[in-house]
Structure 1
């Protein structure tokens, strides 16, 4: 996979963010997209080998559309400045997400602003055994890859049904349960990028397993 070409295309698209340019350069877009889909398909097979709970996700389903949704966000550009891929993708399961863009690139895992039922189930699990999640988040190897910890998206007040003195109140106040590992373009275009993604995935397994168990128990 030529990630240098992927970034060159994204830069050109960002500088010419309109349908006329895309129509003229659609063949180049398809080449970059199809090459990336092949890379994702190979990664998908590797992740399934290391994680028995992993669900195969066809690359065509994993790769998000490059068009922005202008119906609900008419102020956005016509096209995104990134390629987003959601892997291990089944309804109700925490996500494994790869975001390669010109403004930011990262790998993420967990739930971003989950539905009320899922959020309630995660909080129930934290109420029951939040120390397990605390241990996962505080593991040195985990903190090294995710130094910012849980995404800073918290209630200013205490969630209904919990007391402000709860031992895990900080975790309970979260509205999102997701962690991110930032990437540089140099890392992405290096020969070891696939290994990097796999190492991040491995570190995410206990975190995502905790969340997935919370919403199924």
Structure 2
């Protein structure tokens, strides 16, 4: 597991984001991809100690293509400048909450949650939070969780979602358009020899949040 190899490749592809350079240096990509899968394998093994659903998940099934979909983007550069892996018992395209590892120079992070939920599922998750607000708050306001994940969601409604009272004391939790959480870490965090253990420790604090979401999402997927 050689994290500097991954970061070096990503810096190089960021500076030379064209097919000619990539094709001439595809060996660098293959080496970086291999090292990233090694990292994910080590993380999966450690997550499996506290989340049995992850046992048997293969690193190669968690990674995303390096090739960008430029069809609807003004940015036509062909390659991503990060490597991401979504560790999810239901697969990386699942609505279920999983564990996401993202390596990108100056923007490395760990994350989790459920993104772009279908409307019926999103409404059900909001209802579950509304009906069980004390339990939800005990999870997301727990200092052990907040030290890594201070904010729930990225994008928010301006008003209360339809069907919920505007004067609900914790309406901000229902305004989330997605239920995600993020933990940014410096590159040095990932280059330490014990990084898989430290990553797993952070994800262990996230698991109650994932369990809360997945209890509802189970009914839809």
Check whether the contact 1:142–1:203 (CA below 8 A) recurs between aligned residues: yes
Counterpart of 1:87 in structure 2 is 87
Alignment partners' CA distance in 1, 2:196 and 2:45: 12
Query: What is the count of residue pairs matched by the alignment?
Result: 216
Residue 76 of structure 1 and its aligned partner are, at CA, apart by: 4.0
Matched, 1:115 2:148: no
**1:34-113 equivalence runs, <5 A:** 34-54=34-54, 56-90=56-90, 91-113=94-116
Where does residue 161 of structure 1 map in the other structure?
A: 163
Once the 2 structures are TM-superposed, how far is the Cα of residue 189 of structure 1 from its aligned partner?
1.0
Separation in structure 1 between the aligned mates of residue 175 and residue 148 of structure 2, nearest angstrom: 23
CA distance in 2: counterparts of 1:161 and 1:73, whole angstroms: 35
C-alpha displacement of 1:113: 2.8
Cα shift at 1:64: 0.7
Matched, 1:145 2:148: yes
Deviates more, 1:161-170 or 1:194-203: 161-170
Cα displacement (A) at 1:120: 1.1
- Whether the aligned pair in 2 keeps the contact of 1:159 and 1:173 (CA below 8 Å) is yes
SS of alignment partner, residue 50 of structure 1: coil
Distance 1:155 1:28 in 2: 43
Q: Does residue 1:129 correspond to 2:132, yes or no?
A: yes
2-structure distance, mates of 1:117, 1:196: 36
Q: 1:184 to 1:124 in 2, by over 3 A?
A: same
Deviation at 1:33, TM superposition (A): 0.6
Secondary structure in 1 matching 2:102: strand
Gaps of 5+ in 2: none
Report SS of the residue matched to 1:93: coil
Q: In the superposition, relative to structure 1, how do residues 140 and 167 fare at CA in structure 2: closer, same or farther (>3 Å)?
A: same
Q: Cα distance, 1:196 vs. partner? A: 1.3
Distance 1:192 1:16, change over 3 A: same
Moved over 4 A (4+): none
**1:55–1:88 contact (8 Å) kept in structure 2:** no
> What value does the CA root-mean-square deviation take over the aligned residues?
1.5
Task: Please tell me whether the aligned partners of residues 81 and 101 of structure 1 are also in contact (alpha carbons under 8 angstroms).
Answer: yes
Q: CA deviation at 1:216?
A: 2.7
- 1:18 aligns with 18
Give the match for residue 203 of structure 2.
Answer: 201
